[in-house]
Amino acid sequence: MSQERLMSVLLGPHVSEKSARVAEANQFVFRVRRDASRPEVKAAVELMFEVKVANVNIVNVGGKQKRFGQRLGQRQDFKKAYVRLAPGQSIDFSGADA
């Protein structure tokens, strides 16, 4: 896996009530590329945040059907990854320097 590929695997954190709840258990949720695999997600998180990853679970999320005026449309499908960190590891999304 090239470093360029790993830098493009993570699209951003997925913010929701559930992701806030699982963050208490040292688990974080990221939106990832639709062609990303578990080893790629693990390597990307370890590279970008310099933490040790315990395991990765990936979920394919189907896009919702929505109405655009009189036409029916569908939002894009996406993939998200639940990343559990090793004990003692953490990710700080606040951006504040400690």
Query: Mind listing the domains of the chain with CATH numbers?
Result: 3-85 (3.30.70.330)
3-state secondary structure of 42: helix
| pLDDT for the residue 97 | 59
| pLDDT for the residue 1 | 79
Tens-digit pLDDT string for the chain (98 aa): 799 999 999 999 999 999 999 999 999 999 999 999 999 999 999 999 999 999 999 999 999 999 999 999 999 999 999 999 999 999 887 766 55
| pLDDT for the residue 92 | 83
C-beta of residue 77 within 8 angstroms of C-beta of residue 60: yes
